[in-house]
């Protein structure tokens, strides 16, 4: 039985605001960077960290195979389920797994796994388990797409930045982002500071924090090799994290070895 695995959900606050600030950008990037690979899947797609379903919808729309959406956060999954509820065609193509992928029981073959905008939030000691879980669920020769995480390093001088404000009714929703070093293991603490303003008046403030670990490209490549992956011919390795790289925009392609 699969039961919810996120009693202490790091996305409990962010989920409400996630699509508002990221929905359109991430949808566009997923169309540009993932749709063609999804169209090439002949068996099934495993989406690790489906979140609110922004990418799930693109994968499902671009492919003819089932999409297995794995999402352990109840808050994120609530938005995902609302998206599935609203779209009958999507509901027919997506199966939802309410657990981390290491615990997901897949009984269908998948020849494409996407792990995009996820891996930086996985602690380094948990990453080898993540890669082996993916290798175990992909058919031999199946492809894993993983991205280099976005702007993971604190900006020079530790400046914060703002996402474009969004209007809901006659309220303005804003989000400020702060990244700070947060531990000897190189982890960073990302904080999103949300505010809702009605004219000059602030009617609500919320804050959500996450840890993220910059990927070391050679260490990641070694982990992937140990888990049974080989870089797809003619493609680039996982990139070093770099200021300004946005999620989805630097993808690395690995194949599950056949042996």
Ligand X SMILES: C[S@@+](CC[C@H](N)C(=O)[O-])C[C@H]1O[C@@H](n2cnc3c(N)ncnc32)[C@H](O)[C@@H]1O
Residue (41 or 170) nearer to ligand X, CB: 41
Q: Taking Cα atoms as reference points, which of 255, 257, 259 lies closest to residue 40?
A: 255
State in angstroms the smallest separation of the CB of 86 from ligand X.
17
The only residue of 72, 98, 150, 228 in contact with ligand X, by rule CB under 6 A: 72
118 binds ligand X (CB under 6 A): yes
Residue (35 or 197) nearer to ligand X, CB: 35
21 binds ligand X (CB under 6 A): no
Q: Which stretch binds ligand X (CB under 6 A): 67-75, 85-93, 155-163, 217-225?
A: 67-75
121 binds ligand X (CB under 6 A): yes
The only residue of 60, 96, 112, 116 in contact with ligand X, by rule CB under 6 A: 116
138 binds ligand X (CB under 6 A): no
The only residue of 101, 110, 134, 215 in contact with ligand X, by rule CB under 6 A: 101
122 binds ligand X (CB under 6 A): yes
Question: Could you give the count of Cα atoms lying within 13 Å of 76 in the half-sphere of its Cβ?
Answer: 31
State in angstroms the smallest separation of the CB of 164 from ligand X.
17
The only residue of 58, 60, 67, 70 in contact with ligand X, by rule CB under 6 A: 70
130 binds ligand X (CB under 6 A): yes
Residue (37 or 117) nearer to ligand X, CB: 117
The only residue of 49, 142, 149, 228 in contact with ligand X, by rule CB under 6 A: 49
Q: Taking Cα atoms as reference points, which of 109, 114, 144, 120 lies closest to residue 10?
A: 120
CB 36 within 8 A of CB 102: no
Residue (122 or 255) nearer to ligand X, CB: 122
Positions in the binding site for ligand X (CB under 6 A): 11, 26, 48-49, 51, 54-55, 70-73, 76, 100-102, 116-118, 121-122, 130
């Amino acid at each position: 039985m699969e039961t919810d695995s996120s009693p202490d959900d790091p996305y409990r606050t962010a989920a409400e605001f996630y699509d508002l600030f990221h929905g359109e950008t991430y949808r566009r990037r997923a169309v540009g960077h993932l749709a063609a690979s999804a169209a090439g899947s002949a068996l099934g797609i495993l989406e690790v960290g489906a979140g609110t379903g922004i990418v799930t919808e693109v994968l499902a729309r671009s492919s003819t195979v089932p999409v297995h959406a794995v999402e352990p956060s109840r808050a994120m999954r609530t938005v995902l389920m609302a998206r599935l509820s609203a779209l009958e065609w999507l509901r027919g193509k997506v199966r939802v797994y309410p657990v981390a992928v290491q615990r997901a029981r897949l009984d269908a073959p998948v020849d494409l796994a996407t792990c995009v905008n996820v891996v930086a939030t996985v602690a380094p000691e948990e990453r080898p388990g993540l890669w082996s879980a993916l290798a175990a669920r992909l058919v031999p020769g199946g492809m894993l797409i993983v991205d280099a995480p976005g702007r993971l390093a604190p900006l020079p001088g530790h400046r914060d930045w703002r996402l474009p404000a969004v209007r809901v009714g006659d309220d303005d929703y804003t989000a400020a982002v702060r990244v700070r070093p947060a531990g000897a293991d190189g982890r960073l603490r990302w904080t999103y500071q949300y505010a809702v303003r009605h004219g000059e008046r602030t009617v609500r403030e919320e804050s959500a924090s996450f840890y993220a670990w910059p990927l070391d490209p050679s260490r990641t490549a070694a982990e992937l090799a140990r888990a049974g992956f080989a870089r797809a011919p003619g493609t680039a390795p996982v990139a070093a994290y770099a200021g300004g790289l946005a999620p989805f925009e630097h993808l690395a392609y690995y194949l599950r070895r056949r042996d």
